[in-house]
Chains A and B, each alone.
Chain A
């Protein structure tokens, strides 16, 4: 396969996300712009300019009307997807780490970092109520006193949010009442990334403890574990195959002290059921910070510490390959 290289960022990529149909790919990085690309040919559709700090997270709603970004400039912004205009600005006290639309596209959640004397909050806004945006007053705020949220995804039907914490814990917060519905502690370290399956029934976590784990979204039952020998920065579930792709590598600060040969910057493919690795794809010069599957499962993208996003369209080989059980 010939990857398409997207050079829209000057610093390391923090998150990439496809929209529901997969024709657009959003990428955010530690620089201030948010890029949107046509995933089919890598053409850049535009940029959302306005943030003044590193952008940590991006999300797009189901009908690709609005885009939500959260940044270290203590703000979360809502954009018009088509024109790149800023629709709303949510100011916070600390950096916004994760953000997301629920499935209806009406309710957004975002979490803030524990920093500068402020603790970590998980905020919920209803976009149908302009008063909430105007007053910057979320209808629901959940404080997390102990360990900050490092990654979060919506569960099915927009009823709750599954949040991964920096100590490896996963909590399920109700979007209505704000109470904790479920808990799981399977990871021992920082959860870097969480991504759901297409039907939102499962999600995969990527943790600094060198593993990625598959969970049931509602019960938080631990289903599978994928082990590697390096921190996992991101993991994604294939929508059509029983595959999980993982990106990682040693920590960015250690990259210069080890050779690229042992850096292990490949994207690694695991069989979701057998928990066994079956393939690797090289390409990045640094650790992979985020991976995402195209919703049709025929291509995937990865964004790295090297600042590039690479779109890979799978060779026919990939679809024929079967793991010997």
Chain B
């Protein structure tokens, strides 16, 4: 029957699909030698992603002349752990590494200079990392050679100093009830925040309207600006009235275009007043500007 013959010569497509679907089977490794080039084609399934890989390795076969003894040794049978290795290098033990080059050194100074740059520790060499509290030397305080002699002396000195400054301050009766403690703050001892410089002063508020009252009072609000207005335009427009400390132009976050209003802070309130008088109702970019005092912001 003709169909039987056909089956023999070519496997049916169904068989092929079956073979491909079966993950356990891989095409056999092939080895071809063409001239002095040997090509080995391997197939392997990666353990991690289960994909099939085809590995092609190309070798150049070299024939070298060698002495008889060396040639004889080249034909020795492998032994020990390599007993069952195939002829030729085994990939498990022998691999070709990446290209490396010998870097030639023409002048020694160059190389050393480069070396020093590369060494991050060298940068630290000039700096003092550790400073002794007793003698200001380059070592830990506990390792100070003058620990026993200088240490107690300094303590005494500090105590005396502390006493004398306190004595001076008290009779003076300064307006600020701030106990001065220069001796302590300089020796690097821990000082609780309540005793630190300015510890008794009232803390500063985060409220912006407390910060600079004069600033806020010299700020004007400009509205009805055109969308194309830039900060530089505003600077040009308001500079003639006096020195400007700050310009804030409200801009759209996304497009960066002006939202049509701005705040200008002058150093002096008079300048601001003149600016209001001068620019309010001024035609700018086909729009009539509206300028007025900025209201103090509520946070």
Binding site for B on A (CB under 8 A): 1-8, 21, 23-24, 33, 37-38, 40-49, 63-64, 82-84, 259, 261-262, 269, 276-283, 310, 312, 314-315, 317-318, 321, 324
Is B24 positioned at the interface, with any CB of A under 8 Å from its CB? no
Q: Give a binary string over B81-92; 1 marks a CB under 8 Å from any A CB, 0 the rest.
A: 111010011101
| Also in contact, A21 and B67, with CB within 8 A (given A48-B80, A277-B108) | yes
Nearest-CB residue, chain A, relative to B89: A43
Say yes or no: A282 contacts B100, CB within 8 Å: yes
- Measured in the bound complex, the distance between the Cα atoms of B103 and A269 in whole Å is 10
Pick from B67, B79, B94: contact of A47, CB under 8 Å:
B79
B residues near A8, Cβ cutoff 8 Å: 81, 93
Nearest 5 CB-CB pairs, A to B?
A: A47-B80, A46-B79, A84-B79, A42-B94, A46-B80
Chain B residues with a Cβ under 8 A of chain A: 64, 66-67, 69-70, 73-74, 76-83, 85, 88-90, 92-106, 108, 118-121
Within 8 Å CB of B105, what residues of A? 277-280
Assess whether A7 is in contact with B93, with CB atoms less than 8 Å apart.
yes
User: Closest approach, in angstroms, between the C-beta of B86 and any C-beta of chain A?
Assistant: 10
The CA of A314 and the CA of B102, in the complex, are separated in Å by: 9
Residues in chain B near residue A259, CB distance under 8 A? 120
A37 to B103, CA, bound (A): 28
Smallest CB-CB separation from A82: which chain B residue?
B76
Chain B binding surface SS class: loop
Question: Taking A4-B94, A280-B103 as contacts, is the C-beta distance between A262 and B121 under 8 angstroms?
Answer: yes
A45 & B82 in contact (Cβ 8 Å cutoff): yes
Q: Which of A23, A38, A82, A283 contacts B100 (CB 8 A)?
A: A283
Quote the shortest CB–CB distance from B196 to chain A (angstroms). 39
With both chains docked as a complex, state the minimum distance between the C-beta of B232 and any C-beta of chain A, in angstroms. Answer: 48
Q: Pick the contact of A44 from B77, B93, B119 — CB < 8 Å?
A: B93
The CA-CA distance from A6 to B95 in the complex, in Å, is 7
A-B contact pairs, 9 of them (CB 8 A): A1-B100, A21-B69, A41-B88, A43-B88, A82-B79, A276-B108, A277-B105, A277-B108, A321-B104
Q: How far is the CB of B77 from chain A (nearest CB, A)?
A: 8
Hey, which chain A residues are within 8 Å of B74, CB to CB? 23, 38
From the candidates A23, A24, A40, A84, name the one contacting B80 in the complex (CB within 8 A).
A84
Structural contact, A43 and B73, CB atoms closer than 8 A: no
Q: Which chain B residues lie closer than 8 Å to A1 at the CB level?
A: 99-102
The CA of A204 and the CA of B66, in the complex, are separated in Å by 29
Q: Are A44 and B78 in contact (CB under 8 A)?
A: yes
A48 vs B78: C-alpha distance in the bound complex, in angstroms?
Answer: 11
Bound form: Cα–Cα A108–B70 in Å: 24
Closest beta carbon of chain B to A304's beta carbon, Å: 12
Q: Which residue of the partner chain B has the closest CB to A19?
A: B73
- Assess the A41–B73 pair: CB atoms within 8 A: no
Evaluate contact between B100 and A6: CB separation under 8 angstroms: no
Which residues on B sit within 8 Å (CB–CB) of A23?
A: 66, 70, 73-74
Q: How far is the CB of A228 from chain B (nearest CB, A)?
A: 12
Shortest A96–chain B CB gap in Å is 20
Contacts of B99 in A (CB 8 A): 1-2
Q: Are B66 and A5 in contact (CB under 8 A)?
A: no
Contact A24 B73 (CB under 8 A): yes
Q: In the complex, what distance in Å separates the CA atom of A269 from the CA atom of B64?
A: 28
- In this complex, what residue of A is CB-closest to B81? A47
List the A residue with the shortest CB-CB distance to B88. Answer: A43
A33 to B67, CA, bound (A): 29
Q: How far is the CA of A137 from the CA of B81 in the complex (A)?
A: 32
Give min CB distance, B94 to chain A, whole Å.
Answer: 4
In the complex where A7-B93, A8-B93 touch, is A315 in contact with B101 (Cβ < 8 A)? yes
A43 to B78, CA, bound (A): 10
Which chain B residue has the least Cβ–Cβ distance from A7?
B93
Chain A residues lying within 8 Å of B101, measured Cβ to Cβ, are: 1, 281, 315
